[in-house]
Amino acid sequence: MRIEASGIATALLLWCVGAAVPGQVRAAQALYPGVGRTLRLHYRAEWRGFHAGNVVVDFQLPPTESSYGQAQVFLQTVGFVSTLYRVENLYRVRFSPAYCVQSVVYDVRERGKQRRIEFSFDNVARKIFYQEMDLRVSKVVESKQLDVPPCIYDEVSGLAWLRTIELPPGASAEAYVTNGKKAVRARVDALARESIETPAGIYDTIRYEAHLFNGVLHRRKGRLFVWLTADERKLPVQIQARMRFYIGTVTVQLAKEELL
């Protein structure tokens, strides 16, 4: 099983819905006590009954409407799964007060692969510049440019935005999302209210489906679900990627949260 940004990590880097507007920092600050501090979320990944990996998400809001926020996601396989496919990936993103992506640095270490993926947004040209380097040979293996709208989200900044809006069961929304190589208009559906138990506790949640697979943003066939608490925090407590039978289902659950 290959666990990468288009699998477990993408679920945690879930995306956004709708157009960004000024003033959202003030709305979002209510979700994060101590603006300028870091919210750290620890997740446990399960695959076919095994403890497959651990994910740690650090998220820091911009302290003002003229500065940038940042987030970091560290993904590591453990135990039996690590013997099958060793992964130690680090994803870092900077975003505007409206959660529009500004830059991404993604260090990929999977089995024998060592890659650094970087892309940045040019606000004047309205372009994203993408570069992928093979660190083993210090060689650029791919580079490209994308024309994009004035505000576009990666899958991490989108999760932050999603937590600030109201999307009740039965509602849907769309937004522009990018992974640096491709920019698409993707849809998220709010499906149902459900009670979810994780290692961190029992939560009343709303289940959403993000349409990122099946050739939308990622080529893999599958379905991606996220459960956010049905309160003012909208904390992401469970994410699930349901892939084709030979990969199966990967479930990521909140284990602990910290305010640093």
The verdict on pTM exceeding 0.85 is: no
Cα(195)–Cα(176) distance, integer angstroms: 30
Cα(240)–Cα(226) distance, integer angstroms: 6
Task: Say what the pLDDT of residue 29 is.
Answer: 46
- The predicted-structure confidence for 59-90, as pLDDT tens digits, reads as follows 886 666 667 888 889 999 999 889 888 999 99
pLDDT band at 213 (very low <50, low <70, confident <90, very high): confident
- The predicted-structure confidence for 121-163, as pLDDT tens digits, reads as follows 998 899 999 999 999 999 999 999 999 999 998 888 877 777 7
Task: Say what the pLDDT of residue 12 is.
Answer: 42
- The predicted-structure confidence for 1-52, as pLDDT tens digits, reads as follows 443 433 444 434 433 322 233 334 334 444 444 556 788 999 999 998 899 9
Domain of residue 159 covers 5-259
Work out the average pLDDT over 219-246: 87
Task: Say what the pLDDT of residue 36 is.
Answer: 64
pLDDT band at 103 (very low <50, low <70, confident <90, very high): very high
Q: How many domains does the chain have?
A: 1
Cα(233)–Cα(163) distance, integer angstroms: 7
Strands (E), the chain: 39-47, 50-60, 69-77, 88-95, 101-110, 113-122, 127-134, 139-147, 172-178, 183-198, 201-210, 222-229, 236-243, 249-259
User: Among 154, 177, 179, 161, which Cα is nearest to 61's?
Assistant: 161
- Say which CATH number the domain at 39 has: 2.40.360
Check pLDDT > 90 for residue 171: yes
Task: Say what the pLDDT of residue 30 is.
Answer: 45
